[in-house]
Structure 1
Amino acid sequence: MIFQREWKRNRKALIIWSVILGGLIVGLLSMFPQFAEQQESLSKMMEAYPESMQKAFGMDELGFGTLMGFYGIEVHMMTTLLGSIYAAMLASNILAKEENEKTIEFLLSKPITRNQIVAQKLAAVIINLLILNGIAVIASLVGFQFAEGHDVPYKTFALLVIATILLHFTFAAISFMLSSMMRKTRNILSISIAVVIIAYFFNMMSGLSADLDVLKYFSPFNYADAANIINEGAIKALYVAIMAAVILLTVFAAFIVYKKKDISV
Structure 2
Amino acid sequence: MKTIFLKELKLNFKNLLIWSLAVGGMGLACILLYRSMQGEIAELGDAFSEMGFFSDAFGMSTLSMATLAGYFAVEVGTVHGLGGGMFAAIIAIGIISKEEEMHSGEFLLSLPVSRKKVVAAKGLCVICMLAAFTVICGALYALGFASMGESLPAKEFMIFMLGQFLMNIEIGAICFAISAISGKNRMGMGLGIALLCYFYDVIGRAVPDAKDYLFLGPYSYGNASEIFSGKNAPGAAFAVAAVMTACAVCFAFWYYNKRDLAS
Q: Is the pair's TM-score, using the shorter chain for normalization, greater than 0.5?
A: yes
* Cα distance in 2 between the residues matched to 1:237 and 1:212: 17
In the aligned structure 2, how far is the partner of 1:31 from the partner of 1:135?
20
Q: CA deviation at 1:208?
A: 2.9
Instruction: Name structure 2 gaps, 5 residues minimum.
Output: none
Which residue of 2 is the match for residue 257 of structure 1?
A: 255
Question: Aligned AA for 1:191?
Answer: M
Which SS does the other structure have where 1:243 is aligned?
A: helix
Paired residues of 2:89 and 2:175 also in contact (CA < 8 A): yes
1:206-243 per-position Cα deviation (integer Å, ceiling 9, x unaligned): 23332443553442112211222222354443322222
Following superposition, the deviation at residue 135 of structure 1 comes to: 0.4
AA of the residue aligned to 1:111: P
**Is contact 1:46-1:54 (8 Å) kept?**
yes
Equivalent residue for 2:180? 180
Q: Which residue of 2 aligns with 1:240?
A: 238
Pairing of 1:64-143 with structure 2 (within 5 A): 64-143=65-144
Q: Is the 8 A contact 2:85 2:194 kept in 1?
A: yes
- Equivalent residue for 1:24, pick from 26, 48, 54: 26
Which secondary structure state, in structure 1, belongs to the residue aligned with residue 245 of structure 2? helix
Q: Distance in 1 between matches of 2:12 and 2:208?
A: 42
Q: Aligned letter for 2:133?
A: L
Q: Which residue in 2 is equivalent to 1:153? A: 153
Aligned in 2, Cα 1:243/1:218: closer, same or farther, shift over 3 Å?
closer
TM-aligned CA distance change 1:85 to 1:40, over 3 Å: closer
The number of residues matched between the two structures is 261
Q: Matched residues, percent identical? A: 28
Distance 1:97 1:62, change over 3 A: same
| 1:15 aligned residue | 17
Instruction: Specify the code of the residue in structure 1 equivalent to 2:181.
Output: M
Cα distance in 1, alignment partners of residues 42 and 59 from structure 2: 18
Give the partner amino acid of 2:161: V
Give the CA deviation at 1:50.
2.3
CA 1:5 to 1:113, structure 2 compared with 1: closer, same or farther past 3 Å? Answer: same
Instruction: Deviation per CA, 1:137-157: give whole Å up to 9, x if none.
Output: 110110111333x43220111
Instruction: Kindly indicate whether the alpha-carbon contact (under 8 Å) linking 1:35 and 1:65 is maintained by their aligned counterparts in 2.
Output: no
AA matched with 2:6: Q
Q: Structure 2 counterpart of 1:151, which letter?
A: S
Distance 1:43 1:102, change over 3 A: closer
After TM superposition, what 4+ stretches of structure 1 lie above 6 angstroms from structure 2? none
Cα 1:239–1:123 change in 2 (3 A) is: same
Shift of residue 244, structure 1, vs aligned partner: 2.2
Structure 1-normalised TM-score?
0.91
Question: Quick check: 2:42–2:65 contact (8 Å CA) kept in 1?
Answer: no
Aligned equivalents of 2:205 and 2:163: distance in 1? Answer: 20
CA contact (8 A) 2:16 2:133 kept: yes
* Partners of 2:262 and 2:4 in 1: CA distance: 20
Q: Name the amino acid aligned to 1:24.
A: M
Once superposed, what is the RMSD of the aligned Cα atoms?
Answer: 1.9
Q: What runs of 5+ residues in structure 1 fail to find an aligned partner?
A: none
264 and 180 in structure 1: CA distance in 2 versus 1, 3 angstrom threshold: same
Aligned AA (2:33) = M
